[in-house]
Amino acid sequence: MSVFGLKDLGTKIAITALGFSLIPLIALGVTMYSMFSSTYHSKVQANIATLAENKRQGIDLFLREQVSQLRTLAYSHTIEDLSSPETLENILTTMQLSSKTFIDLGLINEEGVHVSYSGPYNLSQANYKNETWFNQVMVRKIYVSDVFEGFRGFPHMIIAVTKQEKGRVWILRATIDSDIFDSLVRWLQLGDLGDAYLVNRAGELQTRPRFGNKSREIYASFLGGNFSGAKIKEFEDGNKKIFVGGIWLEEKDWLLVIEEDMRGELKPLFKTQAATWGVMGSGVAIIIIGTLMITRMIVSQQERTSRQQAQLNEELIQSSKMAALGKLAAGVAHEVNNPLAVIREKAGWMRDLLEEEDVKASPNFQEFEDAVNKIEQHVERAGNVVHRMLGFARRMEPVCNDLFINDVIKQTAAFLDNEVKFRNIEMVWKLAPDLPTIQSDASQIQQVILNLFNNAIDAIGRNGHITVTTGVDAASKMLSIVIRDDGPGMDKEVQGRIFDPFFTTKKVGEGTGLGLSISYSIISKLGGSIRFESEVGKGTEFTILLPVKHHE
């Protein structure tokens, strides 16, 4: 597979794996978050509704209590008692001992005149005849006012009840401490930023909210109609979001408004959100890193496999060439050997004949002798080729013995001593001293090394160096023999063919082109490998790797 193909494969694997793992993760995260969010929202709303309901009951109860306290007062005392400022004063002081809710008390007659008054304000002669509340209490008998300023120029609220005695109607009136009422309403705020207050039907504030002025918008939408129970709305006020709960009181036409800042209430939700994002983010990161790592692993594994595959293919081609050659060689050798034997025999006979007197006397004797010499010489050469081909065809199984590779190489080089000297070639030895012995076939290895030396000598021609290095190959842990020459090197075309049988660049008669193909098959049989590097103008280096252990 090409490198591009592998890159494509990598991208496809990565995209598929990421798709299959990220989509469900994100879907799960989003679903869980939205489910949690809606559940949480409704829970918060339900909480606020319950709170509003409870608070409303508390305020209603308070108002009811104040009214009934005032009514009890009115009916447990005679008008004569109540008309006396001293008695009224006594009653107020006694009441204030247990609760400071009532600030003052006053008795008013049918004409709206304050008959008696006890309290901090100077209201003893005030006339309420024309006040709305006065007329309302006369009609309804019980009255709880809105907060208003009245004669005092100060916001306050009053409650009033009527009492009939001796055919006349009297009104007992009390002022409620608005601070106490305010704090009653404000008490039980929801959170740090929550608020609670009352507004009347006209939208006027009846208690002081915790955080100053309120924008009417917040509660205006509740004022339109009557509804029972609490209503919750979500509201945006400037840059903050709030929950607003509204509920109408039973005792008075007032709306209790409860505000809760969502930032406070939704903190757990935001925390969950952050945690969800965190878990999802790290999940996504882990998945991406994992996927990329696995993809890279798969791709590089695949690359290795295709490289090995390519190498295997090459080896397969090489060995099939060898097999074909083997068959051919066996046939050719057999067919050529017999006629060669006949020619050799006949040439011998001709030589014998040349010894005879009358032939020697022939004027053509010299030519006959030259011809016979040539025939013998060429039969010899042909015989050699056939011999090599036969040897190649029926390669003998290697005979393995313990051997020191350095010794084998030295012995082989010794054959070539004269040749090397004659051509002024220097042998450079870099043999590792403590190499392990190996189990291999010495004569076959010699054949290979001899061919490599011969090739190097032939390549150099005259004046050069052959460097022989032995050692243990770091990567494969095999024994390595490197033979390097500084000859002319080979171009790419030659490089591609040197292991082909009968490929030679040498003159006819000087090389058969079998040397390297035979070497290749010998080394493969011994369980090793042979490779080379060559550069035109610089030289050539052959490397043989042999297994240290005996090759089974």
Ligand X SMILES: Nc1ncnc2c1ncn2[C@@H]1O[C@H](COP(=O)(O)OP(=O)(O)OP(=O)(O)O)[C@@H](O)[C@H]1O
Give the residues lining the site for Mg ion (CB under 5 A). 451, 455, 515
Q: Are 257 and 219 in contact (CB under 8 A)?
A: yes
Structure tokens at 260: 């809760």
455 binds ligand X (CB under 6 A): yes
Q: Of 378, 511, 524, 551, which lies in the binding site for ligand X, with binding defined by CB under 6 A?
A: 511
512 binds ligand X (CB under 6 A): yes
329 binds ligand X (CB under 6 A): no
Q: Are 145 and 133 in contact (CB under 8 A)?
A: yes
Instruction: Give the residue with the Cβ less far from Mg ion, 185 or 514.
Output: 514
DSSP string, 31-93: HHHHHHHHHHHHHHHHHHHHHHHHHHHHHHHHHHHHHHHHHHHHHHS-HHHHHSHHHHHHHHH
How many Cβ atoms sit within 10 Å of the Cβ of residue 539? 22
Least CB distance to Mg ion at residue 399 (A): 24
Indicate the SS3 state at residue 549. coil
Distance CA 123, CA 101 (A): 19
Instruction: Give the residue with the Cβ less far from Mg ion, 66 or 455.
Output: 455
Listed ranges 299-307, 355-363, 511-519, 544-552: which one lies at the site for ligand X (CB under 6 A) = 511-519
Q: Contacts with ligand X: how many residues (CB under 6 A)?
A: 20
Q: Of 7, 64, 360, 506, which lies in the binding site for ligand X, with binding defined by CB under 6 A?
A: 506
Instruction: Give the residue with the Cβ less far from ligand X, 207 or 534.
Output: 534
**Nearest C-alpha neighbor of 392 from the set 459, 442, 325, 456:** 325
Q: Of 144, 256, 516, 523, which lies in the binding site for ligand X, with binding defined by CB under 6 A?
A: 516
Binding partner of residue 456 among ligand X, Mg ion, none, CB under 5 to 8 Å per kind? ligand X
Binding partner of residue 485 among Mg ion, ligand X, none, CB under 5 to 8 Å per kind? ligand X
Q: Of 105, 514, 522, 546, which lies in the binding site for ligand X, with binding defined by CB under 6 A?
A: 514
Listed ranges 301-309, 353-361, 373-381, 484-492: which one lies at the site for ligand X (CB under 6 A) = 484-492
> What is the 8-class DSSP label of residue 322?
H
Least CB distance to Mg ion at residue 492 (A): 20
- Which residues, including other chains, have CB under 8 Å from residue 48's CB and lie 6 or more apart? 190, 230, 232, 243, 245, 258, 260
- The interface mask with ligand X, positions 351-380, x = CB under 6 A, is ------------------------------
Binding partner of residue 66 among Mg ion, ligand X, none, CB under 5 to 8 Å per kind? none
**φ, ψ dihedrals at 417, nearest 5°:** -50, -50
Indicate the SS3 state at residue 110. coil
425 binds ligand X (CB under 6 A): no
Distance CA 116, CA 368 (A): 176
Distance CA 341, CA 332 (A): 14
For the chain, what's the residue count? 552
Q: Of 189, 504, 524, 529, which lies in the binding site for ligand X, with binding defined by CB under 6 A?
A: 504
494 binds ligand X (CB under 6 A): yes
451 binds ligand X (CB under 6 A): yes
- Which residues, including other chains, have CB under 8 Å from residue 295's CB and lie 6 or more apart? 10, 13, 14, 17
Indicate the SS3 state at residue 410. helix
Binding site for ligand X (CB under 6 A): 451, 455-456, 459, 485, 487, 490, 494, 498, 503-506, 511-516, 540
